[in-house]
Structure 1
Amino acid sequence: MTRLHRSSLAAVAAALVLSLTAPMADAVTDPQPRPAASAPIVGAEESLGYPIESRVLSQDQSQGVDAEGRPQAYWVTAGNDVTPGMFQVTDLRSGEVVFGERLPAGAHSWASTFNTANGTVYFAMTSGEMYSWTPGDDAVTALGVPFPGEGIWRLDAAPDGVVYGGTYPGGLLFSYDPATGEFADHGQAVPGETYARALEADDESVWVGTQPRARLTRFDRGTGQFHQVALPAQYETHEVVYDMTLARDYLLLRVQPSNDLLVYDTSSGEFVNIVPGISGRAISPPDPAGKYVYFRISAQGVVAYDLDTHTYAPIGWGPNAFPGTWAWIDLDHPDFPGLSLAMTYYYGRIYVWNPTTKKTLYIGEGDLQGAPNSITALGSGPDGAVYVGAFLSPPGMARFDPADDSTTLLAGAGQVEGFGTYGEHLVFGRYPNAGLLDFDTTRPWSMGTNPGPPATIAGEQDRPQAFAQVGDLMAVGSVPKSGRLGGALSLWDPATGEVVTHRNVVPDQSVVSLAERDGLLYGGTSINGGYGIDPVATEAELFVADPDTGTVLHRLVPVPGGRAVNGLTFDADGTLWGVSDGTLFTYDPATRSVTRAEQLFPRTANMYGHDRHLVFRGDGYLYVTSSGSLWRVDPQSWAATRLASSGVASLALDEKGDLYYARGAALYRWNFSLRPQPVCDVTVSGPHAGPLRATAGTTCLDGASVDGPVQVSPGAVLVAEDSAVRGPVRAIGAGGVQLDSVTVTGPVSVTGAVGGVWIDGTTVDGPVELLSNSGGTTVSGLTVTGPLSCTGNEPPPVLENVDVDGPVTGQCREA
């Protein structure tokens, strides 16, 4: 008996047609020979679950009372692309969650208000849906999508019960009358402003704050007219009026990015005070005596602002949280006599302070339900791990280790927009405010120390998305802040924290992809700027820049009409590959010209090209995420094969050569060691008397017992699992053959298969011939009573733990 034992199949199976020692994304090998255009799919998709399994994030909150006067907090905890958001209610006296319902539609909400006129909470989603719930109801009431194409970004209820809302991208002010169930469109609050971002309604007026330019306007409820109010001159270039509170005759509004609090006297039409740099979103309503409002300043904690003297002082209460909403509540508890001040925090936490006893109360988020966090970016780490950034991520980012398939949460990372590497360091860009962080992967993660405090890109930048190492520096491509055009190419020295920023290297466009070659930077742009502003450019560009000066040496439009030039990567010959709106192109740096461009994928575009990744593996193929799918492209023939679909985005490569991508909040791996999962056209189970012929498509034997020969015709696929065949198995020119835990009484012959041949855990009482198969051949745990012959297979077969009672010849003897 001949026994053949080889190294672990898991480590070598993909070597059928692939090298598993592929370089990282920016380095490319050029193996010989290159694959044929007709080569079959190798590998299969694996779901790796949710890297950030659950988080509680309620971007906006409100507070109210039930019919018995019990105070409640209202949350709309964020969902993701698969899981809608969830409306939940906390009873502040008991600390219990007393109601919860997963919504039928909508993932994110920035709009919630409690209507004191009818005791109902109203909330709306950024995708446009609006809902209501009255304490005691068994279910949320859907009010529809009042303005298709408009997301709802803020709500406020007037004293008479009419609910007002603001939208994006139209910047509309609208109203909903609960008495009639009718919506009314009052038009764009401020001409040209795309977000109606802050609202405060009283009996006569609705005050509206806007974004992407901080503007204030008053809507006269009687006449239906808007009257703009000029902010102090120093706020002319501010980005947003974010929060407002009416207290007596004063309108208190917070503006970004300074976070200054402006106090506007609505009776005189003058700004009477400015409080610099408050912390958090909300300003409280006046206290029961009407003398004080409360807000937070990071260095002082919560302060009381005197509406008579326009001075403020700390109250000795410093919750470690940004206020999301405030309310005066009755806890009906001796330690909290009268009314106490309750503050909610968007991570689902509640803090309460009593002005008489100075007692405090904390209610945590443990009973609230969250949802997995949507993935924003993937990166290949120098330590062999895959790093995962997520949307508005309070837990942090995730580190997935392919060595043991474990996931570790790295707390405090924030929303990551892009990754890069140098040496043993992982670098990443964070939204908002374009923070750049440097993590030494050889040392433990400790936010604030490793990585240390972020460096910041100047020039009104917000989203650092693209990274490329050039010498000792990291080049960074970024997208500007909301309402701004003109991204930047920045050169960051992680050792010193110095950042040199070159804005508008391509006028009015953002820099969303980068690659380096021979000391020069190659960048791709998006015609879009930050959210809330329309592009003025019409076609995305490819540029070449000198990193020493930031000078653009060459620019062109690689794909006419393209809105974003997505991932860029070089092959071993120095050709630059890129994709734009579904068109793959190549660029010759020597001639500075596009040498080929073909629309290989469906033509789609997004704001910045988040499916912008291209990588070469050691198998000679180019792998691309585009148009919501993962593609394999033969760089010789440009034949494209779709490997995975349905919302695929981002792309990373591990050291073994497997690919990682995202769908919403879930992480997936294209594992080249796995067998492709077949879709069966014909399935045979149980007893089958007589011959069986697979003539076309995929024929599956699942727990079958075939009493007769099995013949596989050219192009057809046979997949047999946990089955028995009493007779020969012969395949000529098959599309693929898989025998998994099969007993064959008779010879097995597979000749000229163009798809993969997999034989695993199978016993054959007869000779086995594997001849001239071109789709890759893997044999593991095969027991043969008879000879084993392997000839002319390309690539050569991979064998492990094969026991043969007979001669072994050809490639099988050599393996």
Structure 2
Amino acid sequence: MAVGTVHARYGPVEDLGEVVTSVIIHNAVFGTNDQKENELYFVTNGYPAVFYALNLATMQVVDRHELPGLDAVWAMAVGSDKQVYFHGTQDCILYRYSPNQRQVRPLGKNPTGDAWVWDLKASQDGYIYGATWPNAKVFAYDVQRGRFEDFGRMADQPYARSICVTEERLYVGIGMSACLYSVHRNNRSKQEIAIPHRGQDGYVVSNIYVYQQNIFVQMNRSLYFVIDSVSGRILQSFPAEHSISPPSPDQPDLVYFKHGTLLYVYDLSRHDIRSLSSDVRLPKAPLVGAFWIRPPQTLSATCSARSEWVLFGLTQNGEWFIYDPLSSMCEVAQVNVHPRGLVIQALESGANGYLYLGGYHGGLSIYAPSAEKVVGRVPTFPQTEGIGRLDEHMYMGTYRNANIYRLDPSKGLGKDNPAWMFAVGARQDRPFAFASGDGKVFIGTVPEYGLLGGALTVYDPDADRRTTYPDIIKDQSIISLVYRQGKVYGATSIYGGLGSLPRADAAKVFIWDASTETLLAETVPDLPDIDMPPKAIGELRFGPDGKLWGATYRTIFVMDPKTL
């Protein structure tokens, strides 16, 4: 084992521009200005993020503000004063947008000390409530007095992921061991509400709605449970992506939601669910906002509205749809905003010399260094955590659910290129590490939220066969892999999915036999010149000297693979 200081000289940094671009939206809210014009408000991801106001009669953008210091906004609400409130994930600041003055103004730092706010909700009596990470706190902002109030920690967990407010109570969704609390707004007394998966690691309450006496509780942004707020009885469950609609103004017992590309309706009086016509096909992306609006002026002749109210929905990728319940007609279009440059999350070179890049929160691009230009983009591709290569094919591992895609560079980008191959399973979430050899692809993953224990997956594309080996290094994630002469060398992190607490003290380097698919060795690198054991070893590579080189916390080390 050797550790040393590396002295290197590099040329000047060259800015290649915004290589990975996409329209990514996490939330949207509906409001009305003093001219009684209906507007939609949302923020697109990027550096910086951008706030938009969209006129819902004309479907045109009427205002736009760049937000220096913010790259994403999950939390938005329209207050009782008709102002738009939002909070990002980096600066602790609550912002307010005036639809009449067309101005964004910072209101000050929230009192919790948590920079990341997941959710905001407004009460009818002039308060804005926020839910935070990583200390699971709730705060309130008094719209009239301009004062903050810290409600403190809701649980000894990291995520207060969702919040809902009624006249008397707050409902707060917790993770990563799911629970739901009802908090009295005045005396702050708190009681827990029984929910499915209560206390189970890896589960979080990601959305809460209260309609009539029904509490809609979403688990892990996928499955809703409907709970009677009086009896506590579970009335129904259904899969839905993120948001659901408020009750219809024309039919107040009906709530609409999207799953896949289909639209469904939930009957609050009978607690049954029915799908709407299969002719109604919606965008695949998750729904980030659904509202009832008057039919816009711009509806096409084929979607002429017969209803007084139509359902408007906006997806994560900026597609909008309008559905008319009476005619069952639906129109789908893209909101007119510019894609933003995103942080590069994954980068790998291909056999053709191109660079393949995945963006944070989404987007995939192919960059040709020789031509100094982007030669391909998939703006709606999921967030790529890692990229690998086997022969001429590129493999992308995406968040969530550790989905694996394969891209054929000889074909044009399209619907099935990259093609989905499989999901790793075994409660894995983020495929960070790739290596290839012996005609196989080796994939290292980080588990789901709240869990420890990554996995090594071996995929044989010729046989279309895969095997996943969970937790081969106890309670550690696999974040780097490299193949050499029939063996796979891997490195780990003591950290698991977000919200989990490490049990191991130090990251490890291990050797996996590719032919027998067994673990040969594991060790904690002896790094005498650093003052703590490595918590994560971020990269392994073989050098021209045949030695195994690694990197951890500003330290580069080298190991002899023969004596590992």
Both structures adopt the same fold (TM-score exceeding 0.5): yes
Q: Residue 455 of structure 1 contacts residue 498 of structure 1 at CA under 8 Å; is this kept in 2?
A: no
Distance across 2 between alignment mates of 1:209 and 1:497 = 41
- Out of 490, 493, 496, the residue aligned to residue 529 of structure 1 is 496
Q: Does 1:154 align with 2:126?
A: no
Residue 281 (structure 1) shift: 1.1
Count of aligned positions: 541
1:298 equivalenced with 2:267 (yes/no) = no
Partner of 1:308: 269
Partner of 1:381: 350
Aligned counterparts, 1:490-569, within 5 A: 490-547=457-514, 548-559=516-527, 560-569=532-541
Q: Supply the distance in 2 between the matched residues of 1:41 and 1:323 (Cα, whole angstroms).
A: 48
Q: 1:326 to 1:42 in 2, by over 3 A?
A: closer
How does 1:576-655 map onto structure 2 within 5 Å? 576-592=548-564
- Seen in structure 2, the aligned counterparts of structure 1 residues 227 and 499 have a Cα distance that, compared at 3 Å, is farther
Partner of 1:106: 70
Residue 250 of structure 1, aligned match among 201, 214, 222: 214
Partner of 1:164: 129
In the TM superposition, residue 154 of structure 1 has moved relative to its aligned partner by 0.5
Question: By how many angstroms is 1:158 displaced?
Answer: 1.7
1:76 is aligned, of 27, 36, 43, to 43
Return the offset for 1:378: 1.0
Contact 1:544–1:555 at 8 Å: present in 2 too? Answer: no
Per-residue deviation at 1:553?
Answer: 1.9
CA distance in 1, matches of 2:424, 2:106: 43
Please provide the CA RMSD for this pair. Answer: 2.3
Q: Give the letter aligned to residue 480 of structure 2.
A: S
Write the mapping of 1:426-465 to structure 2, written as runs, cut at 5 A. 426-448=394-416, 450-465=417-432
Q: 1:554 to 1:514 in 2, by over 3 A?
A: same
C-alpha displacement at 1:138, in angstroms? 3.2
Residue 237 of structure 1 deviates from its aligned partner by: 5.3
| Equivalent-residue separation in structure 1 for 2:406 and 2:521 (angstroms) | 29
What SS does structure 2 have at the residue aligned with 1:408?
strand
Report the secondary structure of 2:351's partner residue.
coil
Within 2, Cα distance between the matches of 1:535 and 1:485?
7
**Aligned in 2, Cα 1:441/1:269: closer, same or farther, shift over 3 Å?**
same
Which of 417, 438, 444 is the equivalent residue of 1:477?
Answer: 444
Distance 1:579 1:224, change over 3 A: same
Out of 322, 325, 330, the residue aligned to residue 352 of structure 1 is: 322
CA displacement 1:97-141 (0-9 Å, x = unmatched): 1111112321111111112x2111111101132111121023111
Deviation (angstroms), 1:55: 2.6
Out of 195, 207, 210, the position equivalent to 1:231 is: 195
Q: Deviations over 1:137-178 (max 9, x none)?
A: 231111122133431111111222211111011111111111
User: What is the CA–CA distance in structure 2 between the aligned matches of 1:439 and 1:348, rounded to whole Å?
Assistant: 25
The answer to whether the aligner puts 1:262 opposite 2:236 as a matched pair is no
Structure 2 counterpart of 1:576, which letter?
L
- Per-residue displacement from partner, 1:316-350 (whole Å, max 9, x unpaired)? 34322532112222347694552222212222333
CA contact (8 A) 2:194 2:232 kept: no
In structure 1, distance between residues paired with 2:526 and 2:437: 23
Q: Is the 8 A contact 1:456 1:499 kept in 2?
A: no
Preserved contact between residue 474 and residue 493 of structure 1 (Cα < 8 Å): yes
One-letter code aligned to 1:381: G
One-letter identity of the residue aligned with 1:310 = H
How far has the Cα of 1:210 moved from its partner? 2.2
Question: What is the letter of the counterpart of residue 266 of structure 1?
Answer: S
Change over 3 Å in CA distance of 1:499–1:558 after alignment to 2: farther
The one-letter amino acid paired with 1:165 is G
Structure 1 partner of 2:177: 213
C-alpha distance in 1, partners of 2:176/2:397? 22
Contact 2:387 2:397 in 1 (8 A): yes
Deviation digits for residues 464-514 of structure 1 (CA, Å, limit 9, x no counterpart): 111112312111111111111111222122234433222222222211111
Superposition TM-score, scaled by structure 2 size: 0.90
Between the aligned partners of 1:109 and 1:545, the Cα distance in structure 2 is: 42
Alignment match, 1:756? none
Q: Which amino acid aligns with 1:417?
A: E
> What letter corresponds to residue 82 of structure 2 in structure 1?
G
What is the aligned counterpart of 1:201 among 165, 181, 196?
165
Q: Do the aligned residues in 2 keep the contact of 1:330 with 1:340 (CA within 8 Å)? A: yes
Distance 1:422 1:287 in 2: 52
The CA distance in 1 between the partners of 2:461 and 2:175, in whole Å, is 33
Amino acid in the other structure paired with 1:372: G
Task: Classify 1:355/1:235 alpha carbon distance in 2 versus 1 (closer, same or farther; 3 Å).
Answer: farther
**Distance verdict in 2 for CA 1:76–1:451, change over 3 Å:** closer
What do the CA deviations read for 1:443-463 (whole angstroms, capped 9, x no partner)? 333442x43322221221111
Amino acid paired to 1:164: Y
SS at match of 2:69: coil
Partner of 1:572: 544
Rg larger for: 1
Counterpart in the other structure of 1:425:
393
Alpha-carbon distance in 2 for matches of 1:86, 1:175: 25
Q: Distance in 2 between matches of 1:295 and 1:72?
A: 21
Q: Cα 1:558–1:59, aligned 2, differ >3 Å: closer, same or farther?
A: farther
Structure 1 residue 425 displacement after superposition: 1.7
Conservation of the 8 A alpha-carbon contact between 1:541 and 1:558: no
Deviation at 1:539, TM superposition (A): 2.0
Shift of 1:91: 0.7
The equivalent of 2:300 in structure 1 is: none
Query: Unpaired runs of 5+ in structure 2?
Result: 1-5, 298-303
What is the identity, as a one-letter code, of the residue corresponding to 1:104? P
- Contact 1:578/1:584 (<8 A) preserved: yes
The 1:392/1:313 distance shift into structure 2, 3 A limit, reads: same
CA change 1:369–1:143 in 2 (3 A) is: farther
8 Å contact from structure 2 (residues 77, 84) kept in 1:
yes
Correspondence 1:284 to 2:248: no
Among 353, 361, 366, which residue is 1:392 paired with?
Answer: 361
Which of 218, 228, 236 is the matching residue for 1:273?
236
The correspondence for 2:290, drawn from 298, 320, 326, is 326
3-state DSSP class of the match of 2:361?
coil
User: Does the 8 A contact of 2:179 with 2:199 survive in 1?
Assistant: no
The C-alpha deviation readout for 1:197-224, integer Å capped at 9, x for no partner, is 1211101111112232332221121321
Kindly provide the amino acid, as one letter, of the partner of residue 345 in structure 2.
T
Q: Does the Cα contact within 8 Å between 2:177 and 2:198 map onto a contact in 1?
A: no
